[in-house]
Chain A
Amino acid sequence: MSEPITQIVTPTSLDYTFTAGGATERFLRGLKDGKILGQRCPKCQLVIVPARGACARCGVPTEDDVELADTGTMTTYTIVHIPVPGSDVKPPFVAATIFLDGADIGLFHLVHEVSLDKIRPGMRVKASWKPQEDWGFSLTNIRYFVPLDEPDVDVTELERRIAHA
């Protein structure tokens, strides 16, 4: 008798048409021009990036675009030692939360060109952009962030300022 079949693998895939919506569209168009756009909440005055068109903290629409610096503070991170299926980012890599200067929420991105035993919260970082001819409507226009030779920022203080805003 042949071997019984208990399980078969049937890969499926889903294709989506991504509709960015107004705020995200402006954010992505900004990236195409090498600009990082956030939005200021009219109520709490905090700056959200990527712009979402609303402040989830206050529950109000946001309309004021704010151009942000491409420098910031790394508040926390992980060093990923396992490969992410389908991703061309090779381990080990540093995935970090970066508060861009002028923004009040973290952006999740890569930090490279730092030895793994030197990485620490509060490190100052700067975006390393792809060549301009390769820019698209994407955060991947920034290849990764690299350390800036500046004094560390007190992350506890940064968090406290935003929490109490």
Chain B
Amino acid sequence: MSGELCGIVGIGQTPYCAQRADVSIAGLCREAALNALEDAGLEWRDVDAVVLGTAPDMFEGVMMPELYLADALGATGKPMLRVHTAGSVGGSTAIVASTLIESGIHDRVLTVTFEKQSESNAMWALSSKQPFSPHINAGAGGYFAPLIRSYIRRSGAPEHIGMLVAYKDRLNALKNPLAHLRIEDISMEKIESSPMLWDPIRYLESCPSSDGACAMVVAREALAKDAPKKPAWILGHAMRSEPTMFCGRDEVNPHAGRECAKDVFNQAGITDPLKQIDMAEIYVPFSWFEPMWLENLGFAEEGKGWEMTDEGRTALDGDLPVNCSGGVLSSNAIGASGMIRFAEAARQVRGDAGDHQVPGARTALGHAYGGGSQFFSMWVVSSEQP
């Protein structure tokens, strides 16, 4: 990262739930945007440009929703961009918005992501029959379950690790009033007895289908310093991608993810992530991805990520709290899920994360991934101005 310093001055979310029948997609996005503007003490006229991120159009069946949403997001007469990088889009959208500040092009940018799964069939939208192939593509779970099986074989991780991640994230969700799934009587037994969907992924080890939106306002250094609330400062951001299929591709611990993590930590001056990162919001749509990404990100050696989970080190009171908000396992408005990770990391370093605050968090990682574990976006944010 280079150029102007960029700060996050406003964060706004909607509550996440199964169905927001009271608002349209435009209403949902506007609600998050207004919350972000209010948090920043700003009004529509203070925004120079709008960057919107969305999941595939197939999800809601609305082609090019950025055109229809421009008016609701106050973009009339202003630059409007749309970002799409599959599941990682929430993260890459925040990064694109930040680069408009860092490049010196704009002073303040509003960035918004959303999903309204109640108006869509996201679970199956991308699993239609492919030409000349058996029709066995069973949604995201069907795609990722074999990768989890590979992880279990390679690492020798015991079978309860996935359930432990789900239990931890669901406990965290009880501290987050915005979370979609808040299961008061959650227990390991309840998770274990939930139906097996895509072996080894159980129902309660999977993300829900959520409606919701997330927005942020990012600003250049001088404006961020003068913002009414403490900003989160962006120390680094990175994106990487790689093809879905090639010979020798490591789908469990993808090269693109490892390189993306190295890059973002290098920008942020982080040489020992486990020591220097106080908390992480990591994109975990199926429980087992917590240990897998801990390794991919360099928090654990290859094959050892599950030990961190097992020892409780990723719990809210552990030495690397992961997904204190409840994570994607508790709220999955797909297009927004990556940005929620980025925003929750920023909330933590602003000391503004409510009951799921990690005391004294100064440096946090936001992470998102998408496609067949092939698109990555990450940022590191800090309470301290560099």
Q: Which residues of A contact B (CB under 8 A)?
A: 6-7, 10, 12, 16, 18, 28, 31, 41, 44, 46-48, 55-57, 75-82, 84-89, 93, 95-97, 104-105, 108-110, 121, 137-140, 144, 155-156, 159, 162-165
Which one, A6, A56, A78, contacts B199 given CB within 8 A?
A: A78
Question: Nearest Cβ distance between residue B49 and chain A, in whole angstroms?
Answer: 32
In the assembled complex, the Cα of A86 lies from the Cα of B235 at a distance in Å of 47
Q: Chain A contacts of B21 at CB under 8 A?
A: 6-7
Check A88–B135 contact: CB distance below 8 A. Answer: yes
In the assembled complex, the Cα of A164 lies from the Cα of B243 at a distance in Å of 18
10 closest A-B pairs by CB: A78-B145, A56-B246, A79-B199, A87-B135, A57-B246, A46-B247, A56-B243, A138-B132, A76-B146, A163-B248
In the assembled complex, the Cα of A77 lies from the Cα of B138 at a distance in Å of 12
Check A80–B142 contact: CB distance below 8 A. Answer: yes
In the assembled complex, the Cα of A160 lies from the Cα of B54 at a distance in Å of 37
Q: List 28 A-B contacts (CB under 8 A).
A: A7-B21, A7-B118, A7-B119, A44-B247, A46-B247, A55-B247, A56-B243, A57-B246, A57-B248, A76-B147, A76-B149, A77-B149, A78-B138, A78-B141, A79-B199, A80-B198, A84-B139, A85-B124, A86-B128, A86-B135, A89-B134, A93-B136, A109-B136, A139-B132, A140-B132, A156-B153, A162-B248, A163-B250
Q: Chain B contacts of A121 at CB under 8 A?
A: 149-150, 153
Check B150–A76 contact: CB distance below 8 A. Answer: yes
In the assembled complex, the Cα of A77 lies from the Cα of B152 at a distance in Å of 12
In the assembled complex, the Cα of A93 lies from the Cα of B146 at a distance in Å of 13
Q: Count residues of chain B with CB under 8 A from any CB of chain A.
A: 40
Check A140–B248 contact: CB distance below 8 A. Answer: no
With contacts A84-B138, A104-B248 known, what are 18 further pairs, Cβ within 8 A?
A: A7-B118, A10-B61, A46-B247, A57-B246, A57-B247, A78-B138, A78-B145, A80-B138, A80-B199, A84-B124, A84-B135, A84-B137, A85-B127, A108-B136, A109-B134, A110-B136, A144-B134, A165-B248
Q: With A7-B119, A46-B248, A97-B146 as known contacts, state yes or no: A137 contacts B132, CB within 8 Å.
A: yes
In the assembled complex, the Cα of A44 lies from the Cα of B21 at a distance in Å of 54
The tally of CB-CB contacts under 8 A between chains A and B is 125
Convert B113-143 into 0s and 1s, putting 1 for each residue whose CB lies closer than 8 angstroms to a CB of A.
0000011000010011101111111110110
Check A95–B142 contact: CB distance below 8 A. Answer: yes
Q: Does residue B160 face the partner (Cβ distance < 8 Å to A)?
A: no
In the assembled complex, the Cα of A28 lies from the Cα of B132 at a distance in Å of 8
In the assembled complex, the Cα of A6 lies from the Cα of B118 at a distance in Å of 12
Q: Chain B contacts of A41 at CB under 8 A?
A: 247
SS class, residues of chain B in contact with chain A:
loop
Q: Does residue B154 face the partner (Cβ distance < 8 Å to A)?
A: yes
Q: Does residue B270 face the partner (Cβ distance < 8 Å to A)?
A: no
In the assembled complex, the Cα of A159 lies from the Cα of B135 at a distance in Å of 26
Q: Chain B contacts of A137 at CB under 8 A?
A: 132
Question: Nearest Cβ distance between residue B302 and chain A, in whole angstroms?
Answer: 12
Check A95–B146 contact: CB distance below 8 A. Answer: yes
Q: With A80-B138, A95-B138, A163-B250 as known contacts, state yes or no: A12 contacts B195, CB within 8 Å.
A: no
In the assembled complex, the Cα of A84 lies from the Cα of B150 at a distance in Å of 23
Q: Does residue B197 face the partner (Cβ distance < 8 Å to A)?
A: yes
Convert B255-285 into 0s and 1s, putting 1 for each residue whose CB lies closer than 8 angstroms to a CB of A.
0000000000000000000000000000000
Q: Chain A contacts of B119 at CB under 8 A?
A: 7
Question: Nearest Cβ distance between residue B191 and chain A, in whole angstroms?
Answer: 16
In the assembled complex, the Cα of A99 lies from the Cα of B265 at a distance in Å of 36
In the assembled complex, the Cα of A159 lies from the Cα of B137 at a distance in Å of 23
Check A162–B133 contact: CB distance below 8 A. Answer: no
Q: Chain B contacts of A159 at CB under 8 A?
A: 248
In the assembled complex, the Cα of A130 lies from the Cα of B3 at a distance in Å of 62
Q: Chain B contacts of A47 at CB under 8 A?
A: 247
Question: Nearest Cβ distance between residue B31 and chain A, in whole angstroms?
Answer: 17
